[in-house]
Structure 1
Amino acid sequence: MTTMTIALADTDGQDPAYYAGRADAYDDHRAGTDLDTLIVRLGYLMNAHPDLAYVTGYADRVLEIRAETAAVTAAETELAHTLGGAL
């Protein structure tokens, strides 16, 4: 089942394809696609997709997912070190 992501009607002058790319990356990730696969898909999009705004939106969301994943990993590592010393 696919989750439909709706972009706001007011795109603040940005190309709607940009938001479509962000939404597709978001949907792919929510559907269980891991970060490595998203990065590979982004590589294919960069080489073959005709709409630069779409690719830019997809790339922006993939980079955000990467940053979120790194932040969670860092927080969990810090917690493990803190709790590990207390045990």
Structure 2
Amino acid sequence: MSLMTLTAAITGDQDPDYYAGRADAYDDHQAGTPLDVLITRATYNTAHHTPGYAKGYSTRVEEIRREIADINDLQADIAHTEHLERAA
């Protein structure tokens, strides 16, 4: 069974390949693909897909990388705070 990824309507000068790349990166991430594999795929897409698709995929992968970094930072802050509370 597959799920459809919904995106905003494409109008005007927007490149549908860009949004297809973003949707594929999102789907790959939701399927559990590790970040390092997503980055490798983004690099591969630069040489083997349209520029719009590659840019969309790479942009979403960068957003995912930042989200993961933010989550890791937050978890480290929480662990540090809990450690200090226990020590007091």
Determine if the TM-score, normalized by the shorter chain, exceeds 0.5: yes
Q: Is 20-29 or 6-15 further displaced after alignment?
A: 6-15
CA contact (8 A) 2:10 2:16 kept: no
* Structure with larger Rg: 2
Distance 1:12 1:80 in 2: 47
- Percent identity, aligned pairs only, is 50
Structure 2, unaligned runs of 5 or more: none
Normalised by the length of structure 1, the TM-score is 0.90
Deviation at 1:23, TM superposition (A): 0.2
Gapped runs of 5+ residues in structure 1?
A: none
Shift of 1:14: 1.3
Provide the residue aligned with 1:63 in structure 2. 62
Q: Give structure 1 regions of 4+ aligned residues with deviation exceeding 2 angstroms.
A: 6-13
Say how many residue pairs are matched: 86
Distance in 2 between residues matched to 1:25 and 1:57, nearest whole Å: 8
Mapped partners of 2:77, 2:12: distance in 1: 39
Aligned: 1:5 with 2:5: yes
